[in-house]
Structures are given as C-alpha cells and as structure tokens.
Copies of this chain bind each other. A is one copy, B any other.
Amino acid sequence: MMNELADLNAKLVKIFNDVRWVEERDLSKSSFADLSLRDMHTIEAISLDENQTVSQVAHTMCLSPGSMTKIIDKLVAHLYVTRMPSKTDRRITHLGLTEKGHAIFLEHLNFHQRMVQALTSDMNDHEIDAMLQGIANVQKFLNRK
C-alpha cells in the first residue's frame, strides 16, 4: 500500500513535468511560436473575465505588477491583447483579448479538453466524482499551508 502511493506520486511528478513540456513544445511549433507558456497562461487569465486590470491579472498569476506590465507590453505588441483605458478612473487600464488572442486561447483550451477527455475516458460517473473529491482534498491541504 505504501508502495502503491509512492508509485502514484512518481507518476504524478512525471505527468506534471510532461504536461508542461508538451505545452511548451506545442506552442513553439505552432503558428503562435512567439508565445511562451507564461504568455499563454496570462492570456488564459485575461480570458477568465474580460475588463480585468493589470494588477488583478498580476495577482491571479502571483506575479509583481512590474513583471505583468512587461508581459502585457509584449502581448499588446504581438496583437494578442488590448489595453483599454478606463473611462471613470484614468489610472486604470482594462485588459482584453483581440481576435488573435481568442484564437490561441481556444486552441490551448482544446488541448486541455482533450487531456481531460483522456483522463476520464475509462471512468464512470462515480469514479469521476471520487477523483473530484480527491482533488478537493488536495486543494484543502494546499490552502491550509
């Protein structure tokens, strides 16, 4: 039993690394090769909710506002993201995705969906629920820390 858990841990570590690696390689071979994984995840964070500010997105990604400005500069220059000055508070700029930004986001989402599809393809509803419960337990464990 102890061995089974150690085995599960090893498999999780491997799949963590592999997911990152495949995502990075896929991006660099795609028609969006000018994006790093960090850029991609920033686009993901912006898509979560249009009209977010730079600070909000920085906070979501656990980055400093200064770092986020740099990333946004690049994403704007490469036409994935638009800066929209707030009309009520001129300190604030809202962020949004361009059409190109939406396109790459959807492509990335599709990759994720196929991964989840692979994960659950052999599971019945009960087994999926059991896994969701497990994930919730890990999240609780992380939140306590």
Q: Using a CB–CB distance below 8 Å, which chain A residues touch chain B?
A: 4-6, 8-9, 11-19, 21-22, 25-26, 44, 62, 112-123, 127-128, 130-142, 145
Q: How far is B145's CA from A22's CA once the two chains are assembled, in angstroms?
A: 7
Let me know if A122 and B133 touch, CB within 8 A. yes
| Chain B residue contacts of A132, Cβ below 8 A | 8, 11
How many chain copies does the complex carry? 2
Main secondary structure on A side of the interface with B: helix
| Chain B residue contacts of A18, Cβ below 8 A | 139, 142
The residue on B at minimum CB distance from A141 is B118
Partner of A62, one of B9, B21, B115, B133: B21
Partner of A116, one of B9, B17, B115, B131: B9
Let me know if B112 and A9 touch, CB within 8 A. yes
Let me know if B138 and A118 touch, CB within 8 A. yes
> Known contacts A26-B145, A135-B11, A137-B119: does B19 contact A113 (CB below 8 Å)?
no
